[in-house]
Amino acid sequence: MRVVPVSELHHECGVAAIYHLPGAEAGQVDVARLVPRMLLDMQNRGQLSAGMTAWNPDRNQLLVTHKDVGSVSEVFRMSQRNTFESLMHQLTGRAAIGHVRYATCGADDPGYAQPLERPHIQKRKWFAFGFNGQLANYPELRAEILADGDNHLARDNDTEVIMHAIGRELAGDADPEPADLLGAISSRFDGAWNIALLDACGRMIVARDPLGIRPMEYAIDGGVMAAASESVALLNLGFPAESIRSLEPGTALVIDREGLRVVRFSAPRSRAHCFFEWVYFANVASTMDDRSVYLARKRLGEELARLETVPIDSDTVVVPVPDTSKAAADAMAYRLSIPSVEGLIRNRYTGRTFIDGPASRRQKAESKYTPLREVLEGKRVLLVEDSIVRSTTMKVLLGRMRSLGKAREIHVRIACPPIIAPCFYGIDMSTIDELFAPAFLRDGVLTEQAQAEMAARLGADSLRYLPVESIARSIGLGQDQLCQACLTGHYPTVSGARLYQIAVEQRSRGHTGRTYEAVSAR
């Protein structure tokens, strides 16, 4: 889905799928009601909207979709038992897909919520799907569709473009095999695109893009198959940990009359797993591509400890910025033999600061974290954060830690290298100027002087980032298997690299606005 600049870093979305397999009549046939529960475990991946589509061959309305703006609990009325049960009765089914969304375009428009359904009189052409990622060549694909004056796109996002690409492969009498359908659209897509699709015949396709940029986990047990962007959603359904595995890039799970099978639709190629999934986005309880999110963050903290030079005394403490920094902070403190304390309490009910205007964002940032004076007063604080993207929250936070918390010193430690380039694969940062770090780097090099200047701008006594090589070492994957484009400016796809060059040109000319808009104007 397309994005616009916002104040804090957020992911686009997450997908889920579940199926009571053909021939497996034992157990609970109505598995669709489990989708809201799966989506709750992935709420970290999207809070703007949620939805699901259920398939029931015993119902006239073979596919039923329910979606709306709001959190999972709000959309499915989970706090109102009778209303929730009534809704689940309408959504009964032996197969279902679900989606949570985090985008800034059409934030208040339920029409942007997913799954996106395409009704049709022919059952095989009637389908719904959810999408996780972003197409870097979206402007070209959109222009290609609109080149025919008879065509129209109702919304300015790549989800609708994907729907039309799938529809085109099903046009006329065409009835391609899933591998052929996915191979055809894969040859045209550039970027990250995990898809969960369900049609009115009961066929389900769960696909992971050829680079494996976004995660996709699945499990099969007791006649039920489930897939999700986060392994924790499967674990909490009761799937044994040993049954959960990662879907290989360029492959898809297919369930139809023939049963369940894994098909390859793209030749094996280099991988580009998004490193930020381990650093920030994913639930700390998840495992992706056989790498634990928790252990990766723990190792990042150990990397920070290895580089620490601030004098340690009895008044030195480590404080994590809640919540994604806690694993790194605890590991850092353990290695330094000093306490890791909760000097900041997060107010979970302030809302998300990134969807508001600047004035409102600052007000919410001020109430987002409450410094504990009893913990911070007179202390030398090593403040651990997972990333700094635009610095809005960090500036406010440091001011409050000094004025309210009475901290003596604050040394900011970032369990990540500086973000220097936009992401065109599903993270909501699309221009260079909106990022904090680039203005301080000389020829892209992070120096001690640059970090000192950043610390002064933020109001910290010092600041330190991790070097790029720490990321691959902490995750346990080779650098050639990770997408680190936002750290290095080196993109794994042709369109991503081209968009970055446009972003650099835009910045040099003093132009503002989204990189995609510059492409569309050409």
Q: What is the mean pLDDT of residues 69-84?
A: 96
**CA 519 → CA 91, 141, 503, 514, distances in Å?**
41, 12, 10, 9
Mean pLDDT, the chain, rounded, equals: 91
Span 290-347, pLDDT tens digits: 999 999 999 999 999 999 999 999 999 999 999 899 999 999 999 999 999 999 999 8
User: pLDDT grade, residue 350 (50/70/90)?
Assistant: low
State yes or no: pLDDT of 467 exceeds 70. yes
Q: Find the helix packing angle between 293-307 and 326-336, rounded to 10°.
A: 40
Candidates 13, 274, 416, 486; catalytic one = 13
Q: Is 13 a catalytic residue?
A: yes
**CA 472 → CA 272, 276, 303, 415, 475, distances in Å?**
12, 11, 12, 13, 5
- Do 389 and 9 meet the contact criterion of CB atoms below 8 Å apart? yes
Q: Is the pTM of this model over 0.85?
A: yes
State yes or no: pLDDT of 72 exceeds 80. yes
State yes or no: pLDDT of 428 exceeds 90. no
Q: What is the mean pLDDT of residues 399-425?
A: 97
User: pLDDT grade, residue 156 (50/70/90)?
Assistant: confident
- Do 52 and 99 meet the contact criterion of CB atoms below 8 Å apart? yes
What per-residue confidence (pLDDT) applies to 322? 92
What per-residue confidence (pLDDT) applies to 22? 85
Residues 6+ apart with CB under 8 A from 510: none
State yes or no: pLDDT of 63 exceeds 60. yes
Amino acid at 7: S
β-strand partners of 447: none
- Do 454 and 463 meet the contact criterion of CB atoms below 8 Å apart? yes
State yes or no: pLDDT of 11 exceeds 70. no
Q: Phi/psi of residue 36, each to 5°?
A: -55, -35
User: pLDDT grade, residue 357 (50/70/90)?
Assistant: very low
What per-residue confidence (pLDDT) applies to 520? 52
Residue 155's region, left for phi above 0, alpha for psi from -120 to 50, else beta, is beta
What per-residue confidence (pLDDT) applies to 103? 60
- Do 298 and 325 meet the contact criterion of CB atoms below 8 Å apart? no
Domains of the chain in start order, with CATH, are 13-269 (3.60.20.10), 291-521 (3.40.50.2020)
Span 178-189, pLDDT tens digits: 999 999 999 999
| Helices H / strands E in the chain, number of each | 18, 23
